[in-house]
Amino acid sequence: MKNSFKLLALLFFMAGCTSSVPATPVTETETKSLVFKNTVVSLTFDDGDADNYSVRSALAENNLPATFYVVSGFTNSNGYMTEDQLRDLYNDGNEIGGHTLSHVNLEDVRGADLEREVCQDRSNLVAYGFDVTSFAYPFGHYDDEAKKVVKDCGYGNARGVSDGPETIPPVDGHGLRAMPYIVSDTRFPKMVRYVTEVENSGGGWVIFVFHHVCDGCDQYAIKPQVFAEFSQWLGEQQSNGLIVKTVGQVMAGDQ
Ligand SMILES: [Zn+2]
């Protein structure tokens, strides 16, 4: 009786020991063991929304150059970044790209209107003093005529909004493939998975598309807290081999 009580007590003790083993450094261990050999990330922001300026410090602190596609017809107007704010971002090492003069669907405009939307937008941004080589199609919509005008206006590359991840070099530099939109319920772990899954399947180019940065102002918005968390993670992963570059830098082979 006494012995079996001791045995039971011992079993309870052992069970206690087992269950008291710390449960979860799993995620931490996984993160620490990450190694990136073939993955490049580009952070892209569409439309030049005023709230985009709020990510400036997170980008700079984590050594993350990003690409901002600007609708120059809206610059300096209510709800959009000013010319000076764009210049701040540019001087930090971010890229300023074009996104048309008034955010039109390029399949809906032809001829002189199409040229004006693409070329005048680029001229405006060049006049601000930016080196402008990258373009993003509004709504991701384009056809052969739109693509030709984009090329003829001097853009070295153009981004869509779907079908990512992209390869390096891309199949079509004027039809760059991006990851699904980041929206208001996109969470940090999912964004991490977009990156790690590409590395785990051999590598590639992960182009993120952001719009607003705010808590609840828009469906197509990333919460500031989620962006802060993600940018810190990206910053840390650079010491594990992850490369973060602007679209223009990747296309120029500057990796
Ligand atoms: Zn847009």
pTM for this entry: 0.87
The region that residue 103 occupies, defined by phi over 0 for left and psi between -120 and 50 for alpha, beta otherwise, is left
**Amino acid code (one letter) for 109:** V
* CB neighbour class for 127 (10 Å; exposed up to 12, middle 13-18, buried from 19): exposed
Q: Tell me the CA–centroid distance for residue 213 and ligand 1, in Å.
A: 14
What separation in Å is there between the alpha carbon of 5 and the centre of ligand 1? 72
Confidence of residue 207 (pLDDT cuts 50, 70, 90): very high
pLDDT single digits (tens) 118-163? 999 999 999 999 999 999 999 999 999 999 999 999 999 999 999 9
CA of 152 to the centre of ligand 1 (A): 21
- The answer to whether the beta carbons of residues 54 and 47 sit under 8 Å apart is no
The span from the CA of 230 to the CA of 247, in Å, is 19
How much distance in Å is there from the Cα of 1 to the middle of ligand 1? Answer: 78
Q: How far is Cα 221 from Cα 213, in angstroms, rounded to an integer? A: 5
Beta-bridged to residue 44, according to DSSP, are: 67, 209
For the structural domain made of 36-251, what CATH number should be given?
3.20.20.370
Mean pLDDT of the chain: 90
Enumerate residues 6+ apart whose C-beta is below 8 A from 223: 184, 214, 215
Contacts for 216 with CB less than 8 Å, ≥ 6 apart:
184
Give residue-wise pLDDT tens across range 237-248.
Answer: 999 999 999 999
- Residue 51 has a pLDDT of 97
Instruction: Give me the residues near ligand 1 (ion), CB cutoff below 5 Å.
Output: 46-47, 138
For the chain, what are the domain ranges? 36-251
For residue 22, count other CB atoms closer than 10 A to its CB.
Answer: 5
Tell me, in angstroms, the distance from the centre of ligand 1 to residue 46's CA: 5
pLDDT in tens, 41-70: 999 999 999 999 999 999 999 999 999 999
* Torsion angle (degrees, nearest 10) of CA 121, 133, 103, 108: 100
Amino acid present at 226: V
